[in-house]
């Protein structure tokens, strides 16, 4: 294939889009580095649906502190730059929240965030995930009061579906949860809360 033909391929949005539609995630992560048009074609497909918020949080350069049974994420003052975060956050349409983080090939470890305040403050200024349509809390994990913090941090007016089928969903104040949804998610259309309320259309 002539070099000019290759250049045309890697710089033509329609062709790149068609190629990306048939690629797996690993291939997309390689394509994204080829050119600016390739980034524009691959990035939305990579970041559209995330299984775990850790992919986003890593963009904020957190400090990892090991603790018994897992580790803590702490954000230093100098690392609180949202420039890289915002580049990718606009593509996220679905987020599954997990309280565990994959560590190499050894499995998962629980993690906690010690710097919620600066994340929540930033979310008050502008939605962290402005195009988020679906937010799901992994049903196999316990969140307790953290569920409200996760929701207040990542929910946005674009949210259409919330699923929190966890046994401890109502451990906090249910009224607080409903007020939060009313304020931050005026366009929500599907609400699944467990273990009491499941798949409630709105």
Do 123 and 195 share a domain, yes or no? yes
Q: What pTM did the predictor assign?
A: 0.79
What is the arithmetic mean of pLDDT over 139-158?
Answer: 81
Give yes or no: residues 110 and 121 share one domain.
yes
Q: In terms of domains, do 74 and 126 share one?
A: yes
116 shares a domain with 20: no
Domain that holds residue 28: 1-47
Residues 58 and 42 in one domain: no
User: Which of 96, 89, 94 is CA-nearest to residue 58?
Assistant: 89
Model confidence over 16-65: pLDDT tens digits? 777 878 788 888 888 888 778 888 888 888 899 998 888 888 888 777 77
Same domain, 77 and 39: no
pLDDT, tens only, 84-121: 899 999 999 999 988 776 665 556 667 778 778 888 88
Q: Do residues 116 and 184 share a domain?
A: yes
Q: How many domains is the chain partitioned into structurally? A: 2
Q: Are residues 41 and 53 in the same domain?
A: no
């Amino acid at each position: 294939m002539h070099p000019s033909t290759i250049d045309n391929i890697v710089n033509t949005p329609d062709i790149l889009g068609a190629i990306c539609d048939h690629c797996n995630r690993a291939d997309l992560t390689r394509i994204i580095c080829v050119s600016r048009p390739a980034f524009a074609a691959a990035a939305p497909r990579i970041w559209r649906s995330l299984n775990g918020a850790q992919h986003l949080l890593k963009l904020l350069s957190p400090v990892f502190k090991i603790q018994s049974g897992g580790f803590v994420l702490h954000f230093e003052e100098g690392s609180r730059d949202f420039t890289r975060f915002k580049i990718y956050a606009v593509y996220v349409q679905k987020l599954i929240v997990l309280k565990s983080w994959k560590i190499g090939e050894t499995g998962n470890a629980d993690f906690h965030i010690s710097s919620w305040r600066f994340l929540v403050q930033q979310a008050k200024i502008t939605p962290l995930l402005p195009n988020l349509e679906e937010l799901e809390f992994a049903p196999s994990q316990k969140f307790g009061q953290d569920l409200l913090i996760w929701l207040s941090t990542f929910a946005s007016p674009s949210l259409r579906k919330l699923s929190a089928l966890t046994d401890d969903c109502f451990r906090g104040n249910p009224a607080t949860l409903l007020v939060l949804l009313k304020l931050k998610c005026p366009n929500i259309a599907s609400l699944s809360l467990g273990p009491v309320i499941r798949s409630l259309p709105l």
